[in-house]
Amino acid sequence: MISYTVTTTVIGVGIGLSILLLIRHDRLRSPYALWWMAVAVAVIFLGLFPQLVDRLGFWLGIHYPPVLILVLALGLLLLKILTMDLERTHQEQKLRLLAQKVGLLEAELRRLRQAQVKDGHQDGDDDGAEQEAEEEDGGRLQHG
Query: Is 102 near other proteins (CB under 8 A)?
Result: yes
Query: Is 84 near other proteins (CB under 8 A)?
Result: no
Residue 110 to residue 118: CA distance in whole angstroms:
12
Report, in Å, the least distance between residue 99 CB and other proteins. Answer: 5
Neighbouring C-beta atoms of residue 129, cutoff 10 Å: 15
Residue 137 to residue 118: CA distance in whole angstroms:
14
Query: Is 86 near other proteins (CB under 8 A)?
Result: no
Residue 3 to residue 52: CA distance in whole angstroms:
16
Residue 8 to residue 46: CA distance in whole angstroms:
8
Give the one residue of 10, 17, 104, 112 binding other proteins; rule: CB under 8 A: 104
Selected range binding other proteins among 9-17, 30-38, 41-49, 86-94, rule: CB under 8 A: 86-94
Query: Is 107 near other proteins (CB under 8 A)?
Result: yes
Residues 6+ apart with CB under 8 A from 13: 44, 47, 48
Give the one residue of 85, 87, 92, 135 binding other proteins; rule: CB under 8 A: 92
Selected range binding other proteins among 32-40, 41-49, 64-72, 134-142, rule: CB under 8 A: 134-142
Query: Is 103 near other proteins (CB under 8 A)?
Result: yes
